[in-house]
Amino acid sequence: MPGSQTIEGLMSNLNTTSIVDSIMKLEHQPVDLLTEKQAVATNQLTTYNSISALMVALGASTSSLSRSSAFSAASLSLSDDTMVSAQSTGRVTVGTYSLSVNALATNHQMASQGYADPSSAVGTGTLQLAVGNASPTTITLSGTNNTLTDLKNAINSAAVGITASIISDGSSSNSYRLLLSANTTGAENVISFTSNLTGGAAPSFSTSTFDQVENVGVVSGTSARTLGGTAAYTGSQNKTYTFTVAGSGTQTVGSGPITVNWSDGTNTGTISVTTAGAEVALTGTGSDGLKIAFGAGTLVAGDQFKVQTFSPLLQKAADAQVALGSTAGGGSPIVISSASNRIDDLIGGVSLTLKGITIAPVVITANVDQDTIKANIKGMLDKYNQVMQAIDKQFSYDPNTQQAGALLGDDFLLSIQRNLRSSLTGAIDGLPKSLNMLRAIGITTGSDGLLNLTDSSALAAALASNPDGVRDMFLDSGASTNPLVSFVSAGAKSVESNAGYAIRITEAATHMTRDGALVTDPGILPLTITSTNNTFRVTVDGFKSNDIVLASRSYSSGAELASEIQQKLKADAIVGGRGVAVEWATDSAETGHLKFTTGSYGSTSSLTVDVPSSNSAVNELGFGTGGTSIAGHDVAGTINGYAATGSGRSLTAGTNAGGAAGISVEVRMTASDILANPDATLTYHRGFAARLGRTVDSLTRSNDGQVARRTKGIQSEIDDLKAQIKDKEDYLAIRREKLYERFAALEKALGQFQAQGSFLSQQLSQLAGNTSQITSR
C-alpha cells in the first residue's frame, strides 16, 4: 500500500505489515475456497468439451454409416478391361455377368465436296442445322462472312451440338472439305443440314462424286487422263482406284488396244483403251459408274494414276449393341441397344463404358465391397471406444498420487455412457434373430466395456449371404404390407414399431395437365406449319425451355403433331428431362385438342405454354386463348390415425402422430389402386448406427443438446464464482487499506502521547527545579 511502509513500528515498534498480512490471510480464506471451486468447475467444463468433441466425431461416423450408400460399395472385376470398364454407381446387383460388345455407338460425321481453299466463297443467305430431334438453328452468312472458314466458325459459335472443322484430303485439286461431327453418339443423333445460300459454292452433304485423275509418282506417257464427262459415282464408300498401264514399252493411244488394269483395293478389273478422247467405262463389281477418257498421246507400261472417290457420309450415327448372357449350354443372350457407349441401367448399380468390339465375352463379377463396409463399421466402433475410454478415465482414481478424474462420480456423465452403450447393445426387434444383434456379425463387448470386431469372418459371411440384412442392422428401415407404399425416412421423434403404423390413402397424387382449346383435327384438315408459325416455349415447374421449333410441313393427324411436339420437348436442353407427356385428344369427329401432362406430381407441379419472340405457333396449337388447366394434387391420407401432410407422392406424419411422428412414405397409388386397397401397415425399426447417431445428436446439439445444457450450467457457475471472487477481492483490498489506516492512526496517537509525555516531563522537571530553588532560599 502506498505509504504503508512509512508507519512500520515508528512509535510502537510493531511489525505492521506482518500483522496486516496475517489478518488478510485469514480473511482471504473464503476467496480461496471460491477460487478452488472455480478451478474445479473450469476443469469440468474443459473435460466436458473434450468428451463432446469426441462424441461429435462419433456422430460423423454414425452419420456416414447410417446412409444406404455406406452399404452400396461394390467390388467389380472384369476379365478384359480394355474392351469394357465398369464403375459402381450404387448398390450393385451381386452376380457374374457375361457381356459381348457387338457394336460401339458412333457419332454422325459427314464432309462436303472439295474446295480449292478455306477462303473459298460458299455464298450468302441462311442455312439450318440440327442434330436428331432438336429444333433447327438458323445461321446467316452475309457478304462479309461468306467463306468456308467463316461458315465453320459460325457453326461452332452457334453451339448446336455440332463441331465443324476444315480438313484436307491430300488430293491435288479441291482438297479442302467442311467436316461436320455430331457431338453425341447414337442412331437418333443424325445431322440435318438445309442450305439456302446463293452466290457461291454452297456445301453439299448428299452427293457422292469421283475426284480428278492424279498421277502416281513419275509418269512417262503423254496421254492426258481425265474423268469421263458422264461418270457419276454410284457407290457409298471413300476409296481409291489405282490404274496401271499393262503391256510393254511406249504405246500410242488410237493405234491399237492398250490394256490398263485397275483395283479399288478390294475389286480388280481391266479396261481397253482404243480411241483418243473416248470415255472408257469400268465394268464389274466395284466399278460404281467410273469412266476415264484418254487424250491423244502415249501410255507407257508401268505408269500409274489414280482416281479417289468421295462419299459425304464418313461415319454413320449408330447405337451401341451389347449382348448380355452366354450362348453356352443353349443360352440366348439379350441384345441391348444404347445411344451412348456408357450404359448405366444394364447391371444394377454398375455403369459400363464400352471401349471396343469384343471377340470373346467379357466376364464381369460384381460383389459387395466387404473391405470398405468393414472399414466403415470399424471406424464407428473406434470412435465409440474413444468416447468410452475418455469417460472411463474420468471415473478413475490413483491412490498413489491421489489423483482423480475431473468428473469422478458425475451422475450426468455416467448417464451419457449408459445411453451410448445401450444404443449398441441388445437386439433390434423386428429384424430376424439371425441378424438382430451386433454379435451376429462378430462384434463383441470386451471386459473393458469396449466394442470390437473380433470375428471378421462372421461379418464377411453375413455380407456374402445377406447384404441387405446387414444394412438393415445399421440403418433406419421400414416394411410395408402394400407394395405401392414404401418407407422413405423417419424423424427425430419416430418410435420403432413391430406392430406397425396404419396408413390409409384417401387421394392419389396426380400430375398437372394443360389442355389446349379445340382445334380442327389435322386428319380432317391438315395443319400446315411453316417458318412463320413454328415456334413456342413451355415453362415446366419453373424451368423455361428454349424455343421449341416444329418441323415445317403439313401434319395430317393429331397423333403426328403430338409426336413431333413430344420429340422436340424431349430434345430441349432445359425441360427435356422433366418428363412432360404430349398427346392428342379427340373431342368430336372434326375437332380435338393437345394435352400436356407434367412428369412431376402434386400442387407445385406446373406447366404453361408461352409465346416466343417471333414465329409463334401458339394459336395453331390451341394455346392462344381458351383451354383449361387442371392442377396436380398432392397425395392425401392418414398415418397412425392422424392426418398427414402430402407433397407430391410423399406423405409425412406430423408431430401429433404419436410414435409415427416424422415418418415419411412414398405412395405410388393411382385412383383405381385406392379403390382396390387404400390401406397399408408400415413397420419401422432403427438400426444400430441410426440409434447411436440419434443418441449422440441429442447429446451434442449446440443449442439444446444435453451436454450443451450441462456445460452452460457449469459456465454460469464459473461466471458467478468469478463475480463473487471479484467482489470479495475488492472488499479485501479496501479492508487492507482500512487496517493500514488504523495502524497509521495508532502510530499517530502514540506519537502524540509521547509528545505530551515529553512535555509533561519537561514541565514537571521545570516545576521541580523551581521548587528546589524556592526551598533553598
What is the predicted pLDDT for the residue at 133?
80
pLDDT tens-digit map of 167-214: 998 887 888 999 999 999 999 999 999 999 999 999 999 889 998 899
3-state secondary structure of 313: strand
Distance CA 358, CA 16 (A): 106
Which residue's entry shows cell 515529553? Answer: 758
Please give the average per-residue pLDDT across 304-310, as a whole number: 93
Q: What angle do CA 48, 50, 52 make, to 5 degrees?
A: 65
Distance CA 405, CA 396 (A): 6
Distance CA 104, CA 616 (A): 40
Q: What is the 3-state secondary structure (H, E, C) of 455-498?
A: CHHHHHHHHHHCHHHHHHHHCEEEEECCCCEEEEECCCCCCCEE
Tell me the Cα Rg of the chain: 48
C-alpha neighbours within 13 Å on the C-beta side of residue 615: 13
- Residue 396 burial by Cβ neighbours in a 10 Å radius (0-12, 13-18, 19+): exposed
Please give the average per-residue pLDDT across 278-296, as a whole number: 96
C-beta of residue 145 within 8 angstroms of C-beta of residue 119: no
pLDDT tens-digit map of 638-658: 999 999 999 999 999 999 999
Residue 41 has pLDDT above 50, yes or no: yes
Residue 269 has pLDDT above 80, yes or no: yes
Residue 10 has pLDDT above 80, yes or no: no
Q: Which residues contact 8 (CB under 8 A, 6 or more apart)?
A: 15, 16, 17
- Given pLDDT bands bounded at 50, 70 and 90, which one contains residue 285? very high
Which residue's entry shows cell 463383441? Answer: 444
The candidate with the shortest Cα–Cα distance to 579, out of 598, 604, 554, 558, is: 598
Residue 6 has pLDDT above 50, yes or no: no
Count of C-beta atoms within a 10 Å radius of residue 479: 14
C-alpha neighbours within 13 Å on the C-beta side of residue 434: 11
Please give the average per-residue pLDDT across 744-768, as a whole number: 78
Q: What is the DSSP letter of 91?
A: S
- Which amino acid is residue 625, in one-letter code? T
pLDDT tens-digit map of 530-581: 989 999 999 999 999 999 988 888 999 999 999 999 989 998 889 999 999 9
pLDDT tens-digit map of 511-534: 999 999 999 999 999 999 998 999
Please give the average per-residue pLDDT across 394-414, as a whole number: 84
Residue 5 has pLDDT above 50, yes or no: no
Question: Which region among 113-127, 445-459, 687-701, 741-755 has the lowest average model confidence (pLDDT)?
Answer: 741-755
Q: What angle do CA 254, 260, 266 make, to 5 degrees?
A: 155
- Computed over every residue of the chain, the mean pLDDT equals 91
Beta bridge partners of 295: none
Residue 322 has pLDDT above 80, yes or no: yes
What is the predicted pLDDT for the residue at 112?
93
The candidate with the shortest Cα–Cα distance to 322, out of 303, 336, 304, is: 336
What is the predicted pLDDT for the residue at 365?
93
Residue 337 has pLDDT above 90, yes or no: yes
